[in-house]
Amino acid sequence: MNLSKILNLQKNFYLHILLDTFSFIFSLIFSFFLRFEFTFPPQYWKIFYLLLLREIPLFLIFYFLIFKIYSSLWEYFSLESLKDLVLFITLEKLLLYLSHLFFPIIGLPRSIIFISYFTTILFLFSYRALTRWLHERGRTKRYSNSSYKRVVLIGAGDAGEKILREIKSHNELNYEVLGFLDDDPKKIGKSIHGIKVLGPISSLPKIIREKNIHEVLIAIPSAPPSLIRNIINLTSKMRISIKTLPGIWELIDGRISINKIRNVKIEDLLERDQINLDIEKIGNYLKEKIILVTGAGGSIGSEICRQVAIYNPQRLILLGRGENSIFNIDLELRRNFPNIEIKPYIADIKDRNKIFYIFSKEKPDIVFHSAAHKHVPLMEENPDEAVFNNIFGTINVMDASREVRVKRFIFISTDKAVYPTNIMGATKRIGEILVKYYALNSETEFIAVRFGNVLGSRGSVLEVFRKQIEQGGPITVTHPDMERYFMTIPEAVGLVLQAGVIGKSGDLFVLDMGKPMKIIDLAKNFIGLSGYDLGDIEIKITGLRPGEKLKEELWEKEEIIEKTEHPKIFKIASPNHLDSYIFEEKLEKLESVTKTRDKEKIWEVLKDIIELSKKNYKNKEKILG
């Protein structure tokens, strides 16, 4: 019979218990033989039986009740299992030694207890190590009989070791690891679980050719963009699959595993600082609260839902007008967070009666308002829809929040609200003004958070680039000098949650987006990431579109920027007082003019409202340290 099958715990549960018990008894006998130089004086057999009678109950109590050693799988024996085994034997022998001090077995040499401590560990460990070795050996043999992907792991550290261990433990992954690459010279030539560190990362092309590698796995969480770009450049002409462990935002649970490995994304190539959050404060702020998210099916709204759900709210209310997007995020959240109550609503924020109905029924504690029209060229062609949705829809949600005494309302703004040159930016700027206005006389705390472009949102530049590459090009860029601030959606949403914690009513926050990036450079990186050379895909300059800026800014010169307790969140310290009568009069005029759908008239009233708010500014020097 195959020895690995004999030692398989799942199929031979009782046999394993018998083996452990036999090993335990035999280790005692062997200890006597070692003590007396491989003889067993006959007079010591009686002492052996007395010792066995005393120790067997201790063995059974620790083995079955305290440490439950019988329950571990031998074929997956690990350092953690070895720790439990050594601790079990140590405590059992210590208790035996103490009992011998108080109730001595006449004639028993104390050295027998110490010798048996080591022999017991040796015998119980040996069976398990042999089973693990046979199991791994059997898996290695199966490689040659299956269509396995031959992979090389970049990074011979803790993450690489964990990924390798998972690959070895799960045959269904169809991976065969041929080696590691690491730039640490101390690791080169060494082995991890029998897999050798073949050389530095620069040797990747050579290793791919020699080992016939199918896939490269970057086993370095939050790998720096420079490293990923280097790997892409090294393999650019090989059309080989490159996958990576995600950054801290996708490893929010802190667990590294093979199922977290994903394809390299353009976001991984952005040079930006790592962002840390105060998880404890955010948790205290959101836990057991009723949270409502408008635009819950959108890119930002759905990510807010995902991150909020992690903090175990009492109820999460999804509000959006697109039934498919709400259906998808509802399904995802129910699957990933089965213990959280999810309530989806299909509603348009322009429908005041429906919004008030939902708020009066659900009575949320916290509202994240991300519902908005965001496409600049489209809103230039449809200014009435931009105003009614982004301004008067926001007013509906704010009024409903105030009516049911929502504790905190967070408005999602954009860098296009800074010196707005288009309809969409102007509507979002007025949304920020509304936050200041509503904060004056309300129990609800109204807060705004402003940030720039997010990568990966629906209709974003990356989506456009992806479709253009699928069609064989060209990639279109409106201007060679166009720059934008970029942040990933999870990063932006994480900072929105943090801002919600530290904010007070009337606060307007702006996120530190790092350095702006040229769109043309983004296009070049995306071409390389897609497995093409710059000569394969043309980049075509098309000219600026209506309402489009060459560069975006995160604040205006009149705005005073102050530090907050978080290094990536700044506060715009503009005055918090408006002439309510004039402001309300301007809003009424805007509503009336918008009904005419006359873009010029709408734009004039929007500018009037923005200028009204600027009368409160005092020209002070920006503070940013």
The residue behind tokens 């394969």 is: 536
Nearby residues of 310 by Cβ (< 8 Å), 6 or more positions away: 252, 337
Are 102 and 174 part of one and the same domain?
A: no
Between CA 138 and CA 139, with CA 192 as vertex, the angle to 5 degrees is 10
Residue 320 φ/ψ region, left for φ over 0, alpha for ψ in the -120 to 50 degree band, beta for the rest: beta
Distance, CA of 417 to CA of 563 (rounded, Å): 21
Instruction: Please answer whether residues 319 and 330 qualify as being in contact, where contact means their C-beta atoms are separated by less than 8 angstroms.
Output: no
189 part of a folded domain? yes
Placement of tokens 């490995």 in the chain: 261
Dmax (CA) of the chain: 112
Instruction: Measure the CA–CA gap between 506 and 495, rounded to whole angstroms.
Output: 18
Query: Six-digit token pair at 382?
Result: 């449809």
Report the candidate in 519, 609, 610, 604 with the shortest Cα–Cα distance to residue 556: 610
Neighbours of 589 (CB within 10 A): 15
Same domain, 171 and 218: yes
Across-strand partners of 199?
A: 181
What is the structure's pLDDT at 618? 41
CA distance 546 to 548: 6
Strands laid side by side in the 315-320 sheet: 341-346, 315-320, 290-294, 366-369, 408-414, 445-451, 508-511, 569-572, 561-563
Query: Does residue 135 sit in the same domain as residue 245?
Result: no
Residue 404: how many CA atoms within 13 Å on its side-chain side?
23
| Residue at a domain's end among 141, 168, 199 | 141
Tokens of 108: 């028993």
Q: Which of 168, 374, 416, 571 is catalytic?
A: 416
Residues 6+ apart with CB under 8 A from 191: 197
Read off the CATH number of the domain in which 501 is found. 3.40.50.720
18 and 109, same domain (yes or no): yes
Cα–Cα dist 48/189, whole Å: 50
Same domain membership, residue 260 and residue 134: no
* Helices and strands: H and E segment counts in the chain: 21, 22
Closest CA to 510 of 495, 524, 522: 495
Residues 6+ apart with CB under 8 A from 21: 59
Q: Domain total for the chain?
A: 3
In a domain, 550, yes or no: no
Listed as ranges, residues in the chain with pLDDT below 70 are: 1-13, 70-80, 135-147, 170-172, 222, 246-260, 263, 265-274, 456-460, 531, 547, 575-577, 615-625
Angle, alpha carbons 306-307-310 (nearest 5°): 95
* Domain range for 386: 284-456+485-514+557-614
Contacts of 372 (CB under 8 A, 6+ apart): 295, 389, 390, 394, 412, 427, 428, 431
One domain, residues 175 and 293: no
Yes or no: say if 289 and 309 are a contact pair by the CB < 8 Å rule: no
**What pLDDT does residue 625 have?**
32
Q: Are residues 296 and 346 in the same domain?
A: yes
**SS3 (DSSP) at 234:** helix
* Cis bond upstream, residue 516 (ω within 30): no
Return the bridge partners of 563, or none: 570
Angstrom distance (rounded) from CA 294 to CA 311: 19
Residues 299 and 410 in one domain: yes
Give a yes or no: residue 270 inside a domain.
Answer: no
Q: 158 and 107, same structural domain?
A: no
User: Is 287 an active-site residue?
Assistant: no
CB-CB contact of 191 with 135 (8 Å) = no
Task: Give the pair of three-digit tokens for residue 90.
Answer: 């140590």
Of the candidates 141, 172, 199, which is a domain's last residue?
141
Q: From CA 189, how far away is CA 269, in angstroms rounded?
A: 30
In degrees, to the nearest 5, what angle opens at C-alpha 229 toward C-alphas 225 and 232? 140
3-class secondary structure, 315: strand
In a domain, residue 622? The reply is no
Please indicate, yes or no, whether residues 133 and 179 belong to a single structural domain of this protein.
no
Distance CA 265, CA 587 (A): 43
User: Among 28, 11, 9, which residue's Cα sits nearest to residue 19?
Assistant: 9
Residue 174, domain member (yes or no): yes
CA dist., res. 431 & res. 139, Å (int):
61
Q: Cα(388)–Cα(594) distance, rounded to whole angstroms?
A: 8
Confidence (pTM): 0.65
172 belongs to a structural domain: yes
CB 551 within 8 A of CB 482: yes
Does residue 269 lie in a domain region? no
Asked, for residue 476, whether it belongs to a domain, the answer is: no
Say yes or no: 173 and 131 in one domain.
Answer: no
Dihedral sign for Cα 591, 593, 596, 599, please: negative
**What is the rounded CA–CA span in Å between residue 592 and residue 57?**
89
Distance CA 606, CA 615 (A): 15
CA distances from 306 to 203, 282, 490 (A): 40, 14, 9
Say yes or no: 567 and 490 in one domain: yes
The last residue of one of the domains, among 106, 141, 176, is: 141
Q: What are phi and psi of 15, to 5 degrees?
A: -65, -35
